[in-house]
Chains A and B, each alone.
Chain A
């Protein structure tokens, strides 16, 4: 079966956040607890995540925000000129997934549709997958004691439906489908944009982390959108790091053999010379 994924065409995203809402609705996700604080005089917690400087309301992905429409608001000081860029971000369902590689208990698995899924009943909450994701996607929930992230709507896609966010997207910025088909669509759109003079437009996710099943068309460098230019899957470094550690261990063992033998032999010599 072809891997399923999503193509996010940021050139037609309007920043409406319908995808964020649909994701919350379908997956039954609460408000992000860290965004709500107790405030004197109020019997309930009050949202504190409004910066007053941005229309971006969640600012990052979290255990309860599996989708995040990133607002890139670039304006001149007097606000006479500027541009808006939007990108709906989520788990990229990498083909070489750092979180999955790091999971010690098989709680993070890849399904037959290519999506990376966290088994909530298996996760022990060791949190090692969190720094292992080069995109900072997977997050820990104090409430469940486990990690959470986008599942690519695992329940929906295994029942013949697309993802909730793609379904809700009013401009077609997010499309769900077979990855090879989506790539064709992306290539065509990129060619069209280049033809219109958008020289900076680029596709992000064909080669990164073994290929991303959820990939993007950006109108500027990936860095502008908060994505690493060259994401490194941490486990790619495992062999060199382990090798050097083994070499250090051997050196220490040799050091111990010399340190403890040398003294012993000198004493033997002393003894024998006395005799």
Chain B
């Protein structure tokens, strides 16, 4: 265990927020693309809502990531080595591989987003229409499959990135943070889809039930992983369970973000018929809890 490692001083409003927003986007996308890949036509509206969320959200993330760099104007070094002047990736660095995954994922999210706009007849730009015609020669499922894979990658690599450092909190929770971020991305993706569909008043009882059936076991798994992580970390978990981050993590992420929504779903169900504000509140709690989870974990690890 590292005694002497230094904190990177990543700002919560850049890096933890990226982890959160990237997780929601990727979670929504892999739900949408899995539905498309498996050919569940019944849930096309869920899939469409997911794609509508995924792309705009992922557009925010490069801004956050570049803003946290010490030399933002050099961000392109991540893709193009200015040594041998060639595309570059470092396979032992989750940050490097993750940056490429984010690029590919954003591209696929963009294509799926355009598809939804065309399907709804909302694509006005002639240039984009032409672009859409061009790439429509490729079956939708091909880029849904690629996007789905990289969506999972984007949701999960950030956890691996934290695990493979020498910071005591993050290292002691190895190898679980990646899995935690995968399940948390999945539950927030589902919550975001439910929230958007409910706001647009297109959340059918069937879609709500399916989203809930997906979300519940995922949230239970999330709880299990958190317990395992805390047990594994032992005394190194202290920064995460005490002080401000303790309140954020235990109160915000675990109680408000997982236990309360889970309790609400189990007792009341997530059905529009039972009051649409209920769906909105449950989803908002899941989303806020996930943001607290990432802020607490990223910042406590730097304490």
Contacts and interface: CB of A to CB of B under 8 A. Distances in A.
A227 B93 contact: no
A259 B81 CA distance: 44
Contact of B83 (A122, A135, A262): A122
Given A125-B70, A260-B43, A136 B5 contact: yes
B95 A126 contact: yes
A131 interface: yes
Contacts of B161: 128
B280 interface: no
B147 to A, nearest CB: 13
A265 to B, nearest CB: 10
A227 B4 contact: yes
Contact of A140 (B35, B70, B181): B70
Nearest to B73: A124
Nearest to A144: B70
Contact of A249 (B78, B83, B156): B156
Interface stretch (A47-55, A158-166, A239-247): A239-247
A153 B113 CA distance: 53
A252 interface: yes
Contact of A130 (B6, B182, B213): B6
Interface in A116-159: 122-128, 130-136, 138-142, 144-147
> Size class of A's contact patch?
35 or more
B10 A264 contact: no
Interface string A217-250: 0000001001110111011011011111111110
Contacts of B4: 134-136, 226-228
Contacts of A248: 156, 178-179, 182-183
Nearest to A226: B4
Contacts of A101: 90, 92-93
B90 A124 contact: no
Interface stretch (A1-9, A19-27, A103-111, A187-195): A103-111
Given A106-B90, A234-B166, A248-B182, A124 B74 contact: yes
Contacts of B211: 259
A246 B178 CA distance: 9
B69 A125 contact: yes
- Interface of chain B: mostly helix, strand, loop or mixed: helix
Contacts of A105: 74, 77-78, 81, 88, 96
A132 B99 contact: no
Contacts of A245: 156-157, 159-160, 175, 178-179, 181-182
A104 B31 CA distance: 30
Contacts of B43: 260, 264
Contacts of A227: 3-4
A117 to B, nearest CB: 13
Interface string B67-95: 01111001101100111000010101111
B9 A104 contact: no
Nearest to B46: A260
A252 B90 contact: no
Contact of B77 (A122, A132, A247, A263): A122
Interface string B145-176: 00010001001110111011111001100111
A218 to B, nearest CB: 14
Contacts of B263: none
B70 A104 contact: no
A260 B209 CA distance: 9
Contacts of B10: 127
Contacts of B157: 245
Contacts of B99: 104
Interface of B: 1-10, 30-31, 34-35, 38, 40, 42-43, 46, 68-71, 74-75, 77-78, 81-83, 88, 90, 92-96, 99, 148, 152, 155-157, 159-161, 163-167, 170-171, 174-179, 181-183, 186, 206, 209-211, 213-214, 217-218, 221, 301-302
23 contacts: A102-B90, A103-B96, A105-B81, A123-B70, A123-B74, A124-B75, A124-B77, A127-B68, A128-B93, A133-B6, A135-B4, A135-B5, A140-B9, A141-B70, A145-B69, A145-B71, A228-B2, A245-B156, A245-B157, A245-B181, A252-B182, A256-B186, A259-B213
Closest 4 CB pairs between A and B?
A125-B70, A245-B178, A145-B70, A104-B96
